[in-house]
A and B are shown apart, each in its own frame.
Chain A
Amino acid sequence: DAGITQSPRHKVTETGTPVTLRCHQTENHRYMYWYRQDPGHGLRLIHYSYGVKDTDKGEVSDGYSVSRSKTEDFLLTLESATSSQTSVYFCATFSGNNEQFFGPGTRLTVL
């Protein structure tokens, strides 16, 4: 267990509002990831980070931005939420021992 927490765990918001999801880890892992999981589309990588202030896009990055100002925190922002961003969002890290750890997930509903 890499001590990964996600907040909030559940959120309901309205179309057009900004939303920020937070991923926090306690193990000082270098790599961090944001994924989304949707019925019919499976799991998809949104953004990832390979160090503080070092981030890159994943398969479905449009409409999302990320920031990593500290090793332990990786923020995912939906600048203007849309209904297509209703999903379950998972954060993950990769340890130096080549193990990946996942957070519990955030269920986001955009009305």
Chain B
Amino acid sequence: AQKVTQAQTEISVVEKEDVTLDCVYETRDTTYYLFWYKQPPSGELVFLIRRNSFDEQNEISGRYSWNFQKSTSSFNFTITASQVVDSAVYFCALSEGVNYGQNFVFGPGTRLSVLP
């Protein structure tokens, strides 16, 4: 069965530090999608990125970057020069198959605290 592991339960950094959130997944499918989401203390859910299994290019969006490595089944997320507003719980997720909901599972989340 598919599985997503986020080994870091909580991380604390000081503002302006870089931080990497780890995500390791397990799947037997060759076609799958990986996601990252943010849930700030206000409780809303924010989609950050979707990556398909055939695209291993790293992605950068402002201070955010993602490193997808199929060889290690990892899809790690790095925040550069962290800010207090980055404090949130971050979830990694996996969806198998061609539809965006097939066998969809979330990781347990990593709580990031960015201290001023």
Contacts and interface: CB of A to CB of B under 8 A. Distances in A.
Contacts of A101: 47
B43 A56 contact: no
Interface string A8-52: 000000000000000000000001010000000011110010100
A59 B104 contact: yes
Nearest to A104: B44
A62 interface: no
B104 A45 contact: yes
A100 B109 CA distance: 18
Given A90-B45, A100-B50, A102-B44, A31 B106 contact: no
Interface string B56-80: 0000000000000000000000000
B102 to A, nearest CB: 7
B99 A50 contact: yes
Interface residues of B, number: 21
A44 B37 CA distance: 13
Contacts of B104: 45, 48, 58-59
Given A45-B101, A48-B101, A100-B50, A92 B45 contact: yes
Majority SS of interface residues in chain A? strand
Interface of B: 35, 37, 43-47, 50, 91, 93, 99-109
Interface of A: 31, 33, 42-45, 48, 50, 56, 58-59, 88, 90, 92, 94, 98-102, 104-105
Given A42-B108, A102-B45, 15 more contacts: A31-B100, A42-B91, A45-B105, A50-B101, A56-B99, A56-B102, A58-B101, A59-B105, A88-B43, A94-B100, A98-B50, A102-B44, A102-B47, A104-B44, A105-B44
